[in-house]
């Protein structure tokens, strides 16, 4: 690791508590170098002294490190598996499952979960905790207004039921919004709470080092009820699930052993 980047990581950790050393280095360094070069800076040192003084530039930095792309019903075949095979089993064990969407970005994922839960129980009984490290994105999630492309995988009946169209944007219904509580949370440093019956954590672990992933899988396992499920992204298979006390329940679904 170059000394310049190493120093930058150290200062960012002191300033914000965010540990960039736990994100894959080559990828993160490339993203940040291209950002500061575009702005006319020549080193991480120079870049840090600017973002340290200017909140707006610091927010831009945060925006760069958190890759916020999301969609309703992302990889919708997986959500079908959740609805048909996974949730019925969870609901056999508990009528009020505790649900967590971790690294929820702009809210498409927890809102999708709420819509699916509405097929099993009244939405007024559904409670989903949705967390992300990025406060700006959480503010957008709470707004619940999305461009059409965010809904391209959403089933037509769900679109009709839970969205109102406003120009070229779609607004999520208030009853869906009320089922979800958004909170700031860093998967790498904050306590996990629980116990949960389902954790959805998709398309974020790919950015972390093996060491960080290992820590997170352990923590997920510890905060799930026995029989609880971890639902990961479609490129995030856990190859050594047993070492965390998980067994594969279906592709991309891991059950905490009883």
Ligand X SMILES: C[S@@+](CC[C@H](N)C(=O)[O-])C[C@H]1O[C@@H](n2cnc3c(N)ncnc32)[C@H](O)[C@@H]1O
Applying CB under 6 A, the residues found at the interface with ligand X are 66-70, 74, 103-105, 109, 132-134, 137, 185-188, 202-204, 233
Nearer CB in complex with ligand X: 77/96 = 77
- Smallest separation, CB 40 to ligand X (Å): 26
- Smallest separation, CB 105 to ligand X (Å): 3
- Smallest separation, CB 72 to ligand X (Å): 9
Q: Which sign does the torsion angle of CA 233, 239, 242, 248 carry?
A: positive
Write the CA distances from 4 to 8, 62, 209, 254, integer angstroms: 6, 19, 20, 40
The residue number with the shortest CB distance to ligand X is: 66
Nearer CB in complex with ligand X: 118/203 = 203
Write down the residue that tokens 């440093």 correspond to: 189
Nearer CB in complex with ligand X: 8/93 = 8
Kindly state the helix (H) or strand (E) to which residue 175 belongs, with its residue range.
Answer: helix 174-178
Nearer CB in complex with ligand X: 11/140 = 140
- Smallest separation, CB 155 to ligand X (Å): 17
Dihedral of the alpha carbons of 176, 178, 180, 182, in degrees to the nearest 10: 130
- Smallest separation, CB 167 to ligand X (Å): 24
Helices 44-53/25-38 angle, 10° precision: 70
φ, ψ for residue 248 (rounded to 5)? -70, 130
Nearer CB in complex with ligand X: 45/250 = 250
């Amino acid at each position: 690791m170059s000394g310049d980047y190493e120093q930058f990581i150290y200062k960012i950790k002191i300033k914000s508590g965010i540990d960039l050393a736990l994100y894959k280095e080559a990828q993160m360094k490339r993203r940040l170098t291209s950002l500061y070069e575009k702005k006319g800076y020549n080193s991480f040192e120079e870049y840090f002294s600017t973002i340290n003084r200017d909140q707006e530039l610091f927010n831009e930095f945060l925006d760069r490190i958190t890759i916020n792309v999301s969609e309703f019903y992302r990889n919708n075949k997986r959500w079908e598996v959740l609805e048909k095979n996974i949730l019925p089993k969870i609901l056999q064990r508990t009528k009020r499952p505790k649900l967590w969407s971790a690294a929820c970005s702009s809210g498409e994922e927890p809102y999708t979960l709420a819509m699916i839960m509405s097929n099993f129980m009244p939405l007024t009984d559904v409670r989903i905790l949705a967390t992300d490290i990025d406060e700006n994105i959480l503010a957008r999630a709470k707004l619940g207004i999305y461009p059409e492309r965010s809904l391209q995988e959403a089933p037509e009946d769900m679109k009709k039921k839970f969205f109102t169209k406003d120009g070229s944007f779609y607004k999520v219904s208030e009853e869906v919004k009320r089922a979800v509580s958004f909170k700031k949370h860093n998967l790498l440093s904050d306590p996990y709470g629980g116990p949960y019956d389902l954790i959805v954590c998709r398309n974020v672990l790919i950015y972390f080092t093996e060491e960080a992933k290992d820590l997170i899988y352990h923590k997920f396992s510890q905060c799930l009820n026995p029989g609880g499920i971890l639902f990961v992204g479609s490129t995030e298979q856990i190859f050594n699930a047993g070492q965390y006390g998980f067994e594969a329940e279906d592709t991309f679904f891991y059950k905490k052993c009883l």
